Structure 1
Amino acid sequence: MDGIEHRTVEVNGIKMHIAEKGKEGPVVLFLHGFPELWYSWRHQIAALGSLGYRAVAPDLRGYGDTEVPASISSYTGFHIVGDIVALIDSLGVEQVFLVGHDMGAIIGWYLCMFRPERIKAYVCLSVPFLRRNPKIKTVDAMRAVYGDDYYICRFQEPGKMESEMAEVGTAYVLKNILTTRKTGPPIFPKGEYGTGFNPDTPDTLPSWLTEDDLAYYVSKFEKTGFTGGLNYYRNFNLNWELTAPWSGVQIKVPVKFITGELDMIYTSFNTKEYIHGGGFKEDVPNLKEVIVQKGVAHFNNEEAVEEISNHIYEFIKKF
């Protein structure tokens, strides 16, 4: 993979696998989403590592070749941010450029909230800042808007989604989710897991996802299962409680936000209004740029490889 090296570091009581390219220069730290791995950033690691940056992407807690703690409560936002801060320390730097996608974007917002002094600038993909509503817990609010079949609501019961995924198999789950171009909130009708994200799973993979790519994902998720990744969602209500001291906080880090126009988050309830109507800028006063990619869906870091790499570089080189 074009000079990408792998090693394991000890962080916050667990062993974490990281992939990196570039020995010197400013650190660009990539945080993946669900159901992804460091591998989701392979193209950006290669690109930024060749441009004088030290590009680093971990398998987050519960994923890939990083340890998978057993208890649900080991996956709060504090645990994950603790892992990342320890990773930054292990790299021997004070600050990093941060890039996050999907659940990694949410962790990125927490990192900017809790330890802004460690982040030079943040390139956020897909998930804008989620303003905390002090009156209602996160999952309860999602259930009120989208109903019980909304994917995050369906992820809540321990073991339930895992057993449904096991019925259709790891390869089907990953192919189904990674290739989805369905807009609007992801709804999983009960008993029909495979029709949730992507009612029309293609027979052939899109040009940006090869059989080898899919096989890599499948090999890692067959080893770990999906529970670690699902446990992030199972802590949404607990995270809501734990972040009460930050209610109403503004994110002061410089931010560039990039989403696909077909992204399932972007096309969900009120998201466009929040991003373009002033709410996002109010919460993130240093929001410098919002990019909406034509014809691109949720996994924009893999679908629009060069465009995303260029957007990251054009932004971070200013600092």
Structure 2
Amino acid sequence: MEGISHRMVKVNGIDMHIAEKGQGPVVLLLHGFPELWYSWSHQILALSSLGYHAVAPDLRGYGDTEAPPSSSSYSCLQIVGDLSGLIDHLGVEQMFLVAHDWGAVVGWYLCLFRPDRVKAYVCLGVPYRPRNPKMKPVETMKLAFGEDFYVCRFQEPGVIEAEIARAGTAEVLMKILTDRNPVPPCLSQENPFGIYPENLVTLPSWLTEADLAFHVTKYSQKGFTGGLNYYRALDLNWELTAPWTGALVEVPVKFVVGDLDMVLTTPGAKEFVSNGGFKHHVQLLEEVVVMEGVGHFINQEKAEEINNHIYD
């Protein structure tokens, strides 16, 4: 972490923590769930050494950034408002965008609402999906995958937080970060995270004890509600984005995903990405890279390759 500096900035009415290093054009790095700014450590160091100003915030609800309690405070308009305020605070008109998981979803909204602020977007793991005007997303997921699909299980405030507390913060984080099951994740009622004392999980080479400990410390202090509120605002986002139904993303995009990523292996996703649907909605899609044998947390698992893809 040598040389990475930290500060708090006031944006859109909240206090946001950012980690940053380097001078030059701004590269904004948006993390997912259950991650933090820290998941971009390799990219911050690499990009700053290449002449860029790498900036990785803890998004609203995460880490050292303020976490309003209500899920209604986590709409796409508010999150993009936070990022617009951050870009203003950095004193630039435009920046390069790199984002993963929920950060990638937020990244698509940023491209949709404020394309003038994004020079180009390197999206990791989550392709753009157009709004379905006929059905809300949570209902759609219930019909497709059942009541136990993880997004559905995350909806009721306090329920999954209590399950995480019972299973243990460290155990749950390790399970999520190391899971490579390519089927849509469902959480049973009895043991939602499938954690059994006799099944010891070993850390992969790309995830150190120090990496895990950092996340465990922050989530133990902050809790998971902020991150879970992004899932709880899915239907609210659907309501708010009605004016953008059918809108196209008009920003140059490079998309990188692992072939074992459960987002890509979800039924219909590969076809959407490869058969023209993705390109129709993201017309400046320049490249799709599918990395073999790579899971969901791609920027950590294949840090050097991802650094090269971003720089290219």
Aligned to 2:4: 4
Moved >6 Å (runs of 4+)? none
Which residue in 2 is equivalent to 1:162? 161
Following the alignment from structure 1 to structure 2, what is the Cα–Cα distance between the partners of residues 124 and 202? Answer: 33
CA contact (8 A) 2:8 2:17 kept: yes
Give the Cα–Cα distance (whole angstroms) in 1 for the partners of residues 247 and 200 of structure 2: 43
Secondary structure of the corresponding residue to residue 133 of structure 1 = coil
**1:84 and 2:73 correspond:** no
Q: CA deviation at 1:2?
A: 2.7
Residue deviations 1:121-146, cap 9 Å, x none? 00000100011100000111111111
In structure 2, distance between residues paired with 1:238 and 1:308: 33
- Alpha-carbon distance in 2 for matches of 1:87, 1:3: 21
Q: Percent identical across equivalent pairs?
A: 62
* 1:71 Cα deviation after fit: 1.4
The structural deviation recorded for 1:189 is 1.5
Alpha-carbon deviation of 1:187?
1.1
Partner Cα distance (1:203, 1:137) in 2:
36
Compared with structure 1, are the counterparts of its residues 120 and 138 closer, same or farther at alpha carbon in structure 2 (3 Å cutoff)?
A: same
Mapped to 1, the partners of 2:200 and 2:219 lie a distance apart of 21
- Equivalent residue, structure 2, for 1:62: 61
Task: Give the structure 2 partner of residue 14 of structure 1.
Answer: 14
- The residue number in structure 1 matching 2:276 is 278
Residue 184 of structure 1: how far off its partner (Å): 1.9
Residues 184 and 50 from structure 1, CA distance in 2 versus in 1: closer, same or farther, beyond 3 angstroms? same
Counterparts of 1:106-125 in structure 2, within 5 Å, are 106-125=105-124
Partners in 1 of 2:237 and 2:243 — Cα distance? 11
Alignment RMSD (CA, Å): 1.4
User: Post-superposition shift, 1:201?
Assistant: 6.3
Distance in 2, Cα, partners of 1:263 & 1:297:
5
SS of 2:62 mapped into structure 1: coil
Q: What is the CA distance between 1:203 and its match in structure 2?
A: 3.0
Q: Deviations over 1:2-21 (max 9, x none)?
A: 31111110001111000001
**Structure 1 residue 309 and structure 2 residue 307: aligned?**
yes
Distance 2:247 2:95 in 1: 22
Residue matched to 1:317: none
Distance 2:78 2:216 in 1: 26
Moved more, 183-192 or 5-14: 183-192
Shift of 1:269: 1.3
2:264 corresponds to which of 242, 263, 266: 266
State TM-score, norm by structure 2.
Answer: 0.98
Cα separation, 2, equivalents of 1:202 and 1:105: 31
Aligned mates of 1:40, 1:201 — CA distance in 2: 26
Decide whether the 8 Å contact of 2:131 with 2:246 is kept in 1. yes
Partner of 1:38: 37
1:212: Cα distance to partner? 0.7
* Aligned amino acid, residue 49 of structure 2: S
For 2:31 and 2:214, the matched residues in 1 are separated by 15
Amino acid at match of 2:190: G
In the other structure, the counterpart of 1:131 is 130
User: Partners in 2 of 1:203 and 1:20 — Cα distance?
Assistant: 32
SS of the equivalent of 2:189 reads coil
Q: Is 1:72 matched with 2:71? A: yes
Q: Return the alpha-carbon distance in structure 2 between the equivalents of residues 166 and 153 of structure 1.
A: 19
Secondary structure, counterpart of 1:249 in structure 2: coil
Instruction: Please say if residues 175 and 201 of structure 2, whose CA atoms lie closer than 8 Å, have aligned partners that are also in contact.
Output: no
Alignment correspondent of 2:230: 232
Instruction: Please tell me whether residue 147 in structure 1 is matched to residue 163 in structure 2.
Output: no
Structure 1 unaligned blocks of 5 or more: 315-319
Q: Per the alignment, in what secondary structure is the counterpart of residue 10 of structure 2? A: strand
Which residue in the other structure is 1:218 paired with? 216
SS at match of 1:265: helix
TM, length-normalised to structure 1: 0.96
Residue 152 and residue 132 in structure 1: after superposition, are their counterparts in 2 closer, same or farther (change >3 A)? same
Q: Whole-Å Cα distance in 1 between the matches of residues 27 and 115 of structure 2?
A: 15
Give the Å deviation of 1:150: 0.7
- From the superposition, tell whether residues 201 and 36 of structure 1 become closer, same or farther in structure 2 (CA, over 3 Å): farther
Alignment: residue pair count: 312
Classify the secondary structure of the residue corresponding to 1:195.
coil
Is there any run of 5+ residues in structure 2 with no aligned partner, and where? none
Shift, 1:202, TM fit: 4.9
CA shift in 2, pair 1:252/1:201, >3 Å: farther
Contact 1:155 1:161 in 2 (8 A): yes
Instruction: For residues 178-205 of structure 1, give each alpha carbon's deviation from its aligned partner in whole angstroms, at most 9, with x where no partner exists.
Output: 0011102111112212228x9x965321
- Report the CA distance between 1:285 and its aligned residue: 0.4
